[in-house]
Amino acid sequence: MSWLKKTDFWIAFVLMVIGVVGIARGNQSIADPGQDAHPQLAWLYLLAALIMLVNGLVSHRQYLRDHAKTQAEKGENPPTQKQEA
> Which sequence spans correspond to the domains of the chain?
3-71
Distance CA 21, CA 31 (A): 11
What is the pTM for the complete model shown?
Answer: 0.74
The pLDDT tens digits of the residues spanning 28-83 come to 889 888 888 889 999 999 999 999 999 999 988 988 898 889 888 887 655 555 55
Distance CA 13, CA 49 (A): 7
The pLDDT tens digits of the residues spanning 16-28 come to 999 999 999 998 8
Classify the C-alpha dihedral 81-82-84-85 as positive or negative: positive
